[in-house]
Structure 1
Amino acid sequence: MRIAGVATALLVAAPVLAQEADILVLGRGLPAGPGVPAYGSVLIDAERLREAGRLETGLLDVAGFQQFRRSDSRSANPSAQGATLRALGGNAASRTLVTLDGVPVADPFFGHIPFTALSPERLGAVRVTRGGGSGAFAAGAVAGTIELMSATLGQLPDLAAQAEGGSHGSTGVQAGLTADLGGGYVSLSGRWDRSDGFWTTPKDQRVPASARAANEGWSLSGRAVVPLGAAELQARVLLFRDERTLRFKGADSGSEGQDASLRLIARGPWEVEALAYVQARNFRNIVISSTTFRPTLDQRNTPATGLGGKLELRPPMGGDQLLRLGADLRWADGTMFETAFNGSTGAITARRQAGGQQLSAGLFAEDDWTLGELVLTGGARLDHWAIRDGHYESHNAAGVPTQSEQFANRQDWRLSGRAGLLWHATGALSLRAAAYSNHRLPTLNELYRPFVVFPVTTQANAALKPEVLQGIEAGVEFQPLPTMRLALTAFDNRLKDAIANVTIAPNLRQRRNVEAIHARGLEATGTLAFGAFDLSGSLALTHSRVRADGTAMDGLRPAQTPELMLSATAGWRPAEGTTLSATLRHTGRQYEDDLQTDSLPAATTLDLFGQLPLTTGVSLYARAENLFDANVFTRNVGGSLDLGTPRTLWVGLRVEALGR
């Protein structure tokens, strides 16, 4: 396992990021500045991502990363896969900004991350920065940023293919082709996998209508990098579709997307990065009654469109200073169409639609100033946001309107920023400190779409205000040897007007702004390599509490938020291509709801990975997930339980051919 801690080397040298010196076309954006380590970063390299098998599994190496529930993309509702950090409360929307080659990837309507479409085999590295951020698209990064970086030409074989099979009738195939294109290159790849699924319902709660978490999905990706003199043009297209069944027969959900982006990178005295992207997404979901086992809701269509772009300029300031000036824009439009049924008779009771638009436009400036062993950094953003055309309509089975609401348009300005310092006190010791503020708009889903996880109904709330983060942190890094690094961070973050699912009656909740979520804690990372062995680990210990005076949830831990998360990996790599690693993960107890009535016990799992070269370019690999078959409870509503991934074994064959 190779995870770099908070380190300047992460940003400057970086054989992981820079690749071969004679490759002029990098296929990456402009390099991160020397001030970024002041905010703390963790790097996950391509090899570790491939060992993990799934992107969300690899991200668990960074303690504190979580989705709304403990489920991964095989057994979670796609709309619940929001990414967050720092114990700021479980939320189906992402409080963390996730980008792929600089493009935000969150769904324009729901705010969740399409993890199944983001294959680890296509990535060259992932950088995770915990804490609020400034810079491009950072309005929304209240819990940090996760930067996904595509594999570059130096990391991609001419031809790569793999096939694997596993427990629960699971199969998967992937293939990729990379070829020179003038002075650049083009890369095409595809993935398909399916599974009969595992039981998410405990054996003593299963009924004839219970179903395994069956799933099937595919994605196609194309990327071209073309040199234009001193600049390069990067183009990307991503198509994906994902189908899942959850808990009951007929409880089917599906998501799909078509994304495209163009990025122009100019390197020279004036560095420029210009980016434009478009997203077309859709989601559908059928809700099955847990008493009659008939459909009660068909969320049949949720089309959403996202558009955006940025322009960043870096004027020549001299070798000791890096100035970034820029502007960015994001626009989202989405509408939900659904049909409600009587769970006993199957008769249509209502047809509903809801949706709206969002706009966020910002100007940003950041400056990194190196003064010998001291790096000072600071940045500010001015954002204008607008929420428009919000509406909710309901008709009865005969088409007669029963409810029609047009919500008032809203808009405002917000100033946010961050500042930090990094001091290389000695050759082995570095100290850092940072303070920041940021905000996140409620998603269209949070504003307008109610949902049901039987027997609890959660209402939408068109009056939700943006969340606002204020935080400080300080850290120390000790690197006495090139192969040993230890880092410790203490943080204090306060998320004001935090959006939470608040209980307002038995089996009824509503999304509401609470006064704040206050999270304080410690984060530690460490790496050690000796000979063919390496060790790495990450720990997050957090005291997080809801501040909501006069309510029953005041002083309680936020829903879906553990106090302790731990990940540790030991690896053995005796020869090129030969690997054996073991990963231990622990997640502390957390609660399903805001009133801490339904507990999700702590869970500890062990994963294994092994790879053995058979001949040049051909390797056999095996993976074990949750080797000891621990119960990982992912949902608890009044004793009705769901389970996460049980023991799952995989074996696969990987073929790579490199002609360059």
Structure 2
Amino acid sequence: MRGFIFLMLAIAPTAVRAEDEDAGADIVVLGKGLSQTPGMPAYGSVTIDRNRLTNAASGRIENVLTDVAGFQQFRRSDSRSANPSAQGATLRALGGNASSRTLILLDGVPMGDPFFGYIPFSAITPDRIGQIRVTRGGGNGAFGAGAVAGTIELTSAGRDQLPAIAASALYGSRDATELSASISPEVGGGFLSLSGRWDRGDGFQTTPVAQRVAATVPARYDSWSIGARAVAPLSDDMELQVRGLAFRDTRTLRFAGADSLSEGQDASIRLVAHGDWQVDALAYAQLRNFANVVISSTTFRRSLDQRHTPATGLGGKIELRPPVGAAHVLRIGIDGRFANGTMFEDAYNATTGALTARRRAGGDQSTTGLFVEDDWTLGRLVLTGGLRADRWRIVDGYFHAATAAGVSTADNRFADRDGWAVSTRAGLLYRLSDAIALRGAGYTGFRLPTLNELYRPFTVVPITTQANAALALEKLKGIEAGIDLTPAEGLNLSATAFHNRLDNAIANVTIGTNLRQRRNVDAVVANGVELTAGWRKHAFHLSASYAYSHAEVDAPGQPFDGFAPAQSPRHAATATVAWEPARGPMLSATIRYISRQYEDDLQVDRLRSALTVDGVATVPLAHGLRLVARVENLFDTKVQTRNAGGSIDLGTPRTLWAGLRFEG
């Protein structure tokens, strides 16, 4: 928190110093990075606009992201009832093991936890975001080292999207409250935005009625976040962006005492130049922590206290776009990421409550990448290609265990590892006419195993999952082809067929009764089709998305060879219909479908398919004040989020919200 306070104190003078000496100068500060290059559409992408972000039934960004069919977390629950460490993000059914295979960037900064790889979704509030762009398939360019399943780029709202003052207060089912406020004044030629959000709830019962015991409690949650962002012009074509974030999220899951904590402080500074020589220079720091108490499902007493997991993430990039002629957009750059983390946990006898062991594990890892990419426009044809080379290191890994009396029982020091990984991508976009565009792309990518996967074993009773310090890098190869159609004004259609192969895929592999280990399997092979549609006619808006993903594990000789990867549905679809007039009431409804999937690698525990319906209505009252009503899971569908040998967890039931929103 001290670092965040320091940043807050630093922002104001930074913005004031940027005030232009010529009071009449008309300086436009976008508060964004460099513009999208001509070749980016060759890789296909889906955009979620701010209006959709600020009018979601749940008010949570991870649920909005499910508008992109094929997006999934490790489990189907959101940040009110999931363990934070299980909120990894992936695309294209490449399998889930709680770490993110999708690179999520906020204003260019990777958001994955430095130790676990999960995304702190509760800290990324929709009202601070201006736009989201989702690109499925292997990544390249800046920070491309983690984008084996795709890239999700979140852009903070600009001054043109932010009201000078905004506030909302909602009350929901089960004594839930959601409060948020922001102030975004102009400062000099730029702007300053300060925002805060607090939400809490008594929670719902994730446990089916037949499986509840005296120790069963609802999934209570309580979280807050504070954000600050300053954007200041340094000249007519150069701006400075400073951003800070502090958050804390506590949850109770399934049993009394099964409490988790996720907290952090992030800060970044970014210089963007839009002149002949375009520049995007970025530096960031992240301080994160995680804690979790595991309660035995048989004695309902504490069996594990993962009391402290401090982690640090540092990084930055410099990207240059030199003036090489109107037909070319050339990107040259270097980026780097460093992660360090340590786990402190205590094990207890679940019957007597006595301390039995103290364990500590951790290590360091880093990637430093050089990248170059060029887009070449030849009339209706755009060719694009990129090359990236990363130097990676995994060092100082260890696992130490001792008895309650302090007698060492394990003191493992793991060998340092390093190497080079080369990633490439190439694509083309050919516009047959203003209404038809063809595209195709091929790419490779890689992901380092997280410190959590390498060094931290864990238990979700009755299943224990062992760590594996020898895990190799995941490596992706993929191709895709697509067509984009605009047959009429306001109507957009898109189709993409893809083939992805993830070699050395990290999975939780069953090796005994109630015992798994993180291991590299030969590959996960995913083939599929993605369809999107959008239609806007006056105030009416329709958007829809469907993903068919036929994914299989390629592991000759293993009992799961040919099976679907764990947590990977074959079908996913979503559609939203909205009435959004410039004035008057706003109405929207969203329907989502996800097909059955399996909890485990051996396809023993199945999660049933689910269909849910959400709705939102807002009615203007007066002077920027609106009445807001929201409903989640209108028909109270029982959404299974976990099935461990018949022990079931359920997702969000029907939830009603009502409140007020002010923008002025």
TM-score for the superposition, normalised by structure 1 = 0.96
* Matches for 1:250-265 after TM superposition, within 5 Å: 250-265=257-272
- Alpha-carbon distance between aligned partners in 2 of 1:606 and 1:171, rounded to the nearest angstrom: 21
The answer as to whether partners of 1:610 and 1:622 remain within 8 angstroms in 2 is: yes
**Residue aligning to 1:180:** 186
- Alpha-carbon distance between aligned partners in 1 of 2:318 and 2:581, rounded to the nearest angstrom: 46
**Residue aligning to 2:493:** 486
**Residue aligning to 1:139:** 145
Summarize the Cα distance change of 1:349–1:232 in structure 2 as closer, same or farther, 3 Å threshold: same
The answer as to whether partners of 2:27 and 2:233 remain within 8 angstroms in 1 is: no
* Matches for 1:253-292 after TM superposition, within 5 Å: 253-292=260-299
Shift of 1:23: 6.0
**Residue aligning to 2:49:** 45
Deviations, residues 336-392 of structure 1 (Å, cap 9, x unaligned): 000000000000110000000001000000101111000100001000000000000
**Residue aligning to 1:25:** 29
Q: Paired residue for 1:367, among 371, 374, 398?
A: 374
Gaps spanning 5+ residues in structure 1: where?
1-20
Shift of 1:482: 2.4
Deviations, residues 6-52 of structure 1 (Å, cap 9, x unaligned): xxxxxxxxxxxxxxx97610000011101000000000001101112
Deviations, residues 215-272 of structure 1 (Å, cap 9, x unaligned): 0000000000111113111001100000000000000000100000000011111001
Shift of 1:398: 0.2
Q: Paired residue for 1:509, among 497, 513, 516?
A: 516
* Matches for 1:632-647 after TM superposition, within 5 Å: 632-647=639-654
**Residue aligning to 1:317:** 324
**Residue aligning to 1:85:** 91
The answer as to whether partners of 2:27 and 2:189 remain within 8 angstroms in 1 is: no
Matching residue's letter, 1:35: G
Summarize the Cα distance change of 1:178–1:574 in structure 2 as closer, same or farther, 3 Å threshold: closer
Shift of 1:577: 5.6
Q: Paired residue for 1:219, among 222, 225, 230?
A: 225
- Alpha-carbon distance between aligned partners in 1 of 2:175 and 2:530, rounded to the nearest angstrom: 38
- Alpha-carbon distance between aligned partners in 1 of 2:120 and 2:538, rounded to the nearest angstrom: 38
Matching residue's letter, 2:165: L
The answer as to whether partners of 2:387 and 2:424 remain within 8 angstroms in 1 is: yes
Shift of 1:208: 0.5
Task: Verify: 1:656 aligned to 2:660, yes or no.
Answer: no
Task: Verify: 1:427 aligned to 2:431, yes or no.
Answer: no
Q: Paired residue for 1:558, among 561, 565, 569?
A: 565
Matching residue's letter, 1:47: N
Shift of 1:578: 2.7
Shift of 1:530: 2.5
Which piece of structure 1 moves more, 158-167 or 225-234? 225-234
Summarize the Cα distance change of 1:71–1:567 in structure 2 as closer, same or farther, 3 Å threshold: same
**Residue aligning to 1:166:** 172
Matching residue's letter, 2:263: E
- Alpha-carbon distance between aligned partners in 1 of 2:479 and 2:70, rounded to the nearest angstrom: 17
The answer as to whether partners of 1:421 and 1:432 remain within 8 angstroms in 2 is: yes
Summarize the Cα distance change of 1:268–1:577 in structure 2 as closer, same or farther, 3 Å threshold: farther
**Residue aligning to 1:5:** none
- Alpha-carbon distance between aligned partners in 1 of 2:93 and 2:388, rounded to the nearest angstrom: 25
- Alpha-carbon distance between aligned partners in 2 of 1:267 and 1:570, rounded to the nearest angstrom: 38
**Residue aligning to 1:232:** 239
The answer as to whether partners of 1:237 and 1:260 remain within 8 angstroms in 2 is: yes
DSSP 3-state at the match of 1:153: coil
Task: Verify: 1:631 aligned to 2:638, yes or no.
Answer: yes
Shift of 1:440: 0.2
Shift of 1:168: 1.3
* Matches for 1:86-165 after TM superposition, within 5 Å: 86-165=92-171
The answer as to whether partners of 1:23 and 1:154 remain within 8 angstroms in 2 is: no
- Alpha-carbon distance between aligned partners in 2 of 1:577 and 1:466, rounded to the nearest angstrom: 53
Summarize the Cα distance change of 1:22–1:576 in structure 2 as closer, same or farther, 3 Å threshold: farther
- Alpha-carbon distance between aligned partners in 2 of 1:577 and 1:147, rounded to the nearest angstrom: 32
DSSP 3-state at the match of 1:558: coil
- Alpha-carbon distance between aligned partners in 2 of 1:42 and 1:575, rounded to the nearest angstrom: 24
Shift of 1:428: 0.6
- Alpha-carbon distance between aligned partners in 2 of 1:22 and 1:622, rounded to the nearest angstrom: 40
- Alpha-carbon distance between aligned partners in 2 of 1:320 and 1:245, rounded to the nearest angstrom: 56
- Alpha-carbon distance between aligned partners in 1 of 2:537 and 2:313, rounded to the nearest angstrom: 47
- Alpha-carbon distance between aligned partners in 1 of 2:480 and 2:426, rounded to the nearest angstrom: 11
Deviations, residues 145-178 of structure 1 (Å, cap 9, x unaligned): 0000000010011100000010111001000001
Shift of 1:427: 1.6
Deviations, residues 99-126 of structure 1 (Å, cap 9, x unaligned): 0000001100000000000000000000
Matching residue's letter, 1:79: S
- Alpha-carbon distance between aligned partners in 2 of 1:57 and 1:528, rounded to the nearest angstrom: 21
**Residue aligning to 2:256:** 249
Matching residue's letter, 1:490: A
The answer as to whether partners of 1:64 and 1:86 remain within 8 angstroms in 2 is: yes
Matching residue's letter, 1:42: V
- Alpha-carbon distance between aligned partners in 2 of 1:45 and 1:22, rounded to the nearest angstrom: 27
The answer as to whether partners of 1:67 and 1:91 remain within 8 angstroms in 2 is: no
Matching residue's letter, 1:258: Q
Task: Verify: 1:353 aligned to 2:357, yes or no.
Answer: no
DSSP 3-state at the match of 2:55: helix
* Matches for 1:223-622 after TM superposition, within 5 Å: 223-229=229-235, 230-576=237-583, 578-622=585-629
Shift of 1:318: 1.6
- Alpha-carbon distance between aligned partners in 1 of 2:196 and 2:539, rounded to the nearest angstrom: 33
Matching residue's letter, 1:205: Q
- Alpha-carbon distance between aligned partners in 2 of 1:168 and 1:143, rounded to the nearest angstrom: 37
- Alpha-carbon distance between aligned partners in 1 of 2:280 and 2:328, rounded to the nearest angstrom: 18
Which piece of structure 1 moves more, 81-90 or 569-578? 569-578
The answer as to whether partners of 1:331 and 1:360 remain within 8 angstroms in 2 is: yes
DSSP 3-state at the match of 1:241: strand
**Residue aligning to 1:15:** none
**Residue aligning to 1:17:** none
- Alpha-carbon distance between aligned partners in 1 of 2:97 and 2:36, rounded to the nearest angstrom: 29
- Alpha-carbon distance between aligned partners in 2 of 1:645 and 1:381, rounded to the nearest angstrom: 42
Matching residue's letter, 1:641: I
Shift of 1:616: 2.1
DSSP 3-state at the match of 1:380: strand
- Alpha-carbon distance between aligned partners in 1 of 2:464 and 2:75, rounded to the nearest angstrom: 17
DSSP 3-state at the match of 2:146: coil
**Residue aligning to 1:7:** none
- Alpha-carbon distance between aligned partners in 2 of 1:345 and 1:547, rounded to the nearest angstrom: 44
* Large movers: runs of 4+ above 4 Å: none
Task: Verify: 1:201 aligned to 2:232, yes or no.
Answer: no
Shift of 1:452: 1.1
* RMSD (CA atoms): 1.0
Identity level (%): 63
Which piece of structure 1 moves more, 446-455 or 212-221? 446-455
